[in-house]
Amino acid sequence: MNNIKYILIIIFFTIYVNACKSDSEKTSEKQNQNQTDKVEHNVQNPLTLTVERPSNENYIFGDKIKITVNVKEGFKEDTVLLSINNGDDIILTKETETYLWDTRNAHTGRNNIEVELNTNNQRFRKQQFVTIFSDIVPEEYTFKIKNVYKHDVHAYTQGLFYHDGFLYEATGLKGQSTVRKVQLETGDVMQSFAIPKDVFGEGITLYKNKIIQLSWESGRGFVYDFNTFKHLDEFTYGGEGWGICNDDSHLFMTNGSAEVKILEPETYSVTGTFDVYDNKGPVRYLNESEYIDGYIYANIYQYEKIVKFDPHTGKVAAYIDLSHILPMNDYKSDTDVLNGIAYDKDNKRLFITGKLWPKLFEIELIKK
């Protein structure tokens, strides 16, 4: 009887061990299957993206550049999608694997070319950046002073615009930043308010009865009612804010580099960017700006110079040399750089000033 019991125990134990072994093998098989799947999803990218090199040293605005996309043999695909600067997709097939890119539809500076292939539930991408230089030599201007007005010598000018007989000015420095309405003829401040003390105020622009303002390093934008200066809204953005202007449809924002961000004016979201280039390279340190008759005029920080560029292409149209516009006897120990552009579009008057300058100038541009 005891022998029978002993035999039954051995049989039961053998069945148990085999069952555990079977479960272990299934688990191991599943793990191996997962590893196989992982390998399949990390296969080498089958895409090859080739952008035709220019015959001269640089890509020039207006060049027609051949873009070729190849797919490694063994990968099934119907189409490859090509996009330039996140624009509409261009469909490429084995029969049409090249695309002739007319850069007149692009912009100066860095352009993003991206291709995408979807095959067997996998997605592959290739990306390449192409830098385009302007195809024109900028015009050169100097100036003629038409009128001189008093300017608050304590105003660290960061933003400026003109509307209905008055100047609207934003001043900077933490704890001293303000937005103010100024009488042009006298320089008297008619209306003013201080922005938060921890914020370094920057450029302002008027859009649909709202004043929109940037700040330097805090990534905060402010929206005020034009008539009452009442705070209406705030928005955020990445990086620094320097100058801002608009063309009644878009906001254009500078950040001290050659880059200009395009913002949607109701949501303040970034819808695009471009770099400002002349025929020799990028124009950095873009600062306070003003939209004038289809072009953007921007101060170049630390230079007595304004750059005029096309917001559709990024191409520099002209440079305006304002050297020595502020007489040396008006300089004090704290007199700072040229900054501040305003335009009276009804009377075609252009105004400029600087940080802590005692004067504001109405000027006429004279071609060199």
pLDDT tens profile 199-249: 999 999 999 999 999 999 999 999 999 999 999 999 999 999 999 999 999
User: Which two structure tokens, joined as six digits, stand for 188?
Assistant: 């008297």
Q: What is the mean pLDDT of residues 66-93?
A: 83
Other C-beta atoms lying within 10 Å of the C-beta of residue 119: 14
Q: Which residue has the higher pLDDT, 24 or 273?
A: 273
Q: What is the mean pLDDT of residues 62-78?
A: 82
Other C-beta atoms lying within 10 Å of the C-beta of residue 172: 22
Average pLDDT, the chain: 88
Whether the pLDDT of residue 277 is over 80: the answer is yes
- Please name the helix (run of DSSP H) or strand (run of DSSP E) that holds residue 192, with its range, or none: strand 189-194
Domain(s) of CATH 2.120.10.30: residues in the chain: 139-367
Q: What is the mean pLDDT of residues 335-349?
A: 97
Give buried/exposed letters for 320-340 (b at 16+ CB in 10 A, else e): bbbeebbeeeeeeeeeebbbb
Nearest to 202 by CA among 187, 217, 184: 217
pLDDT band (50, 70, 90) for residue 30: very low
Domain(s) of CATH 2.60.40.10: residues in the chain: 47-133
The per-residue pLDDT for 9 is: 47
pTM for the whole thing?
0.85
The per-residue pLDDT for 73 is: 73
Q: What is the mean pLDDT of residues 298-302?
A: 97
Query: Cα–Cα distance between 183 and 187 in angstroms, integer?
Result: 5
Looking at residue 73, the DSSP 8-state letter turns out to be: T
pLDDT band (50, 70, 90) for residue 75: low
The per-residue pLDDT for 188 is: 94
Residue 183: strand pairing partners: 166
The per-residue pLDDT for 171 is: 96
pLDDT band (50, 70, 90) for residue 70: confident
Q: Which residue has the higher pLDDT, 218 or 122?
A: 218
The per-residue pLDDT for 174 is: 92
The per-residue pLDDT for 40 is: 39
The per-residue pLDDT for 288 is: 97
Q: What is the mean pLDDT of residues 157-176?
A: 96
Class of domain 139-367: mainly beta
Other C-beta atoms lying within 10 Å of the C-beta of residue 365: 15
Query: Cα–Cα distance between 149 and 176 in angstroms, integer?
Result: 23
Q: Are 308 and 291 in contact (CB under 8 A)?
A: no
Q: What is the mean pLDDT of residues 291-301?
A: 98
Write phi, then psi, for 276 (nearest 5 degrees).
-90, 120
CATH number for the domain formed by residue range(s) 47-133: 2.60.40.10
The per-residue pLDDT for 74 is: 65
Map residue 311 onto helix, strand or coil.
coil
Whether the pLDDT of residue 38 is over 70: the answer is no
Nearest to 177 by CA among 167, 192, 162: 192
Whether the pLDDT of residue 19 is over 60: the answer is no
User: Which two structure tokens, joined as six digits, stand for 277?
Assistant: 């280039």
Q: Are 131 and 50 in contact (CB under 8 A)?
A: no
Q: What is the mean pLDDT of residues 304-315?
A: 98
